[in-house]
Amino acid sequence: MSRGLNLLVAFIDAPVWLSNSDLVEKTSFPAPTVARLTRSLADMGLLHYSTKRRRYRLAAGVMQLGGSAEGGVGLIESVRPLIQQFADQHLVHVSLAALDGAGARIVEVFHSSSTLVTLRLESGYVLPLAGTATGHALLSCLPIERREPLIGELALRHPHAWPALRKAMMAAFEEVKRNGYTRSMGSWYTDINAVAAPLHCPHHDAIMSIACSGPAQHLPPERLEEVGHALVPLAEALCSRAAEELHTYAGH
């Protein structure tokens, strides 16, 4: 993990686009290590690879390093007010997650300043893909050729619980198609309910989702539906804002 972070830091004060050779020179890591790390970071939505340039740049999934690209504005900083306002308005805990292998890595969290309700869910925490609203929303973003192998891997990881997990997952995909969001009740922890929406941002390749969660008594089914309906336009607004920021620095 530390090498991955060092690789991301290499983009600070550098041209927006860097090749693996550039990164080898900047980090002094062996070329095979750099190639492995850039592939992994791209899969996590932290780097974007241009087949035309054959180079990488920071992607929208990079939250804490967002102002480091030349002249770039941190993407998280541009959307932070929108998400914080939503958390305060709906009195919920909001999290952004990115696909990380066979897990959902939390990349940023927002706590409502208007309520004491909070969760012990912080940046860096990895949620399971199967059985959580966050994970199901992420999987729904994937094209079928990427989703099916990953679902096969999840089946091997959860052999005993797989029939129930798969049934919930398929229902979640249909819910996303129908409503733009998916809900889970007591699947992560028995007393925690959640609702999540995929972030369909065509201007970058990051696989991300946004979720609201809280104690079941604070987020009963009827409130989950209410928050879910409000979450969809927020997700659309975030992607629009991200597109503006990417357009600002991607052409450097």
22 pLDDT tier (thresholds 50, 70, 90):
very high
**Greater model confidence, 148 or 107:** 148
Residue-wise pLDDT tens digits, 184-193: 998 767 788 9
Whole-number Å distance between alpha carbons of 67 and 84 = 19
Tell me the per-residue pLDDT of 106-144, one tens digit each, with 9 for 90 and over. 878 888 877 655 566 676 678 899 999 999 999 998 989
Tokens of 35: 């190639």
In degrees rounded to 5, what are phi and psi of residue 15? -55, 155
Which runs of consecutive H residues, i.e. helices, occur in 105-209?
133-141, 144-157, 162-179
Residue 73 has a pLDDT of 35
What SS3 state is found at 79?
Answer: helix
**In angstroms, rounded to a whole number, what is the distance separating the alpha carbons of residues 102 and 122?**
19
Give the residue from 95, 106, 57 showing the smallest Cα distance to 196: 95
The pLDDT of residue 19: 93
Mean local confidence (pLDDT), 28-57: 84
Pairing of strands 93-100, 192-199: unpaired
Asked whether the predicted pLDDT for residue 232 surpasses 60, the reply is yes
Q: Count other C-beta atoms under 10 Å from residue 152's C-beta.
A: 10
User: What does the pLDDT look like over 53-89, one tens digit per residue?
Assistant: 888 887 655 544 343 333 333 456 667 888 999 999 9
Q: What is the pLDDT of residue 245?
A: 61
Which band of pLDDT confidence, cut at 50, 70 and 90, is reported for residue 100? confident
**Bridge partners, 209 (sequence order):** 97, 198
